[in-house]
Amino acid sequence: MKKALPILLKLAVTTALLWLIFREHRFQDSILPHLRALGTHWAWGLGGLLAAGLSIWLSAVRWQVLLRGQAQEVPAAEVLRVTLVSHFFNITSLGVLGGDAYRVLALMGRPTARRLPLMVSVMLDHLLGMVGMALLFLSCRFVYVERINALSRETQALLEGFEMFMGGSLIFILLSAISFTPRLYNWGERQWPWLLGYAPLKDFATACDALRRNWRGSLWATLLSVLLFAAHFLSFHCAVRAVGGAAPLLEVMAAMPIVDTAAGLPISVSGLGVREKTFEALMHGLTGLAEATAVSASLVGWLMGVFWGLIGGVLFLRGASRTLPSAALPAET
């Protein structure tokens, strides 16, 4: 029952949020007509679908770069397949096996695989993803600076607050990367040998130091992060046009990092409800986009990602699960 409780809470929050949103905007009268517009604006829908797929492919390429930094050579086709399947688990997000856990478990079946480097590659994947999102958001925010005074005070406060969050995240990641360098870690070990002399922790720090050792790969992964988020955000811009709305690309790019961060909170299934409400508030505040149109576009943008997640689910059912080791993870690192 304890294991089922978080799932039940997620389902309850998702159901409640969607019910409130559909009730507020009268689903049949306001949202459904926008969804029907997909048949008219199918080219925008197709473009968004391709953009969502491009973001997943770029995500796989980024992870492969970081795997190489951990001396884990994995063929590109296998990395892409595992990434697609992990996206399926991220979309469902109900069971205990999340996308990140699947990525590690799936590659553990390889003869040369080691658990710690795989886990660190996933962690660094998220860290450099945060760097890429921050760079993209701050760039859009810099271009948008002349228009911010025309926004409502609530929207200005939200943008400025998220700007501080992104800036703080960059500082945290930079300090983390510095703390993993051998010279600084060795100094810390001399000061606190009871803590930093712990062998598994030293191995973890050495693996994380790949950010510095493989700095060319880190820069390449950061660039890929910017590109993949740009493609992902572009899919939502296409979704707005696909449901018959209109919103400048820059405003969508500025709003989506906040929307994605809110949707990533583990309080609903795949961010449903949270994403729609955040997208609605930001797009209406930034562009004046009708709220029902924004909700419809958010749902369509999410479904574009679901499409690729379902492909990952098919791959899993057709044999991707064979990559999972039958036994428990080995103890060696």
DSSP calls for 104-115: HHHHTTSTT--H
Helix (H, G, I), strand (E, B) or coil at 247: coil
- Rounded average pLDDT over 94-107: 79
Residue 28 pLDDT: 87
DSSP 331: S
Contact (CB, 8 A) for 274 and 268: yes
- Which of the two residues, 180 and 224, has the higher pLDDT score? 224
274-307 pLDDT, tens digit per residue, is 999 999 999 998 888 999 999 999 999 999 999 9
- What percentage of the chain exceeds 70 in pLDDT? 93
138: amino acid identity, one letter: L
Contact (CB, 8 A) for 63 and 217: no
- Rounded average pLDDT over 25-49: 92
Cα angle 251, 255, 256; round to 5? 120
Computed over every residue of the chain, the mean pLDDT equals: 88
Whether the predicted pLDDT of 325 surpasses 70: no
Closest CA to 283 of 249, 315, 316, 308: 249
Residue 329 pLDDT: 39
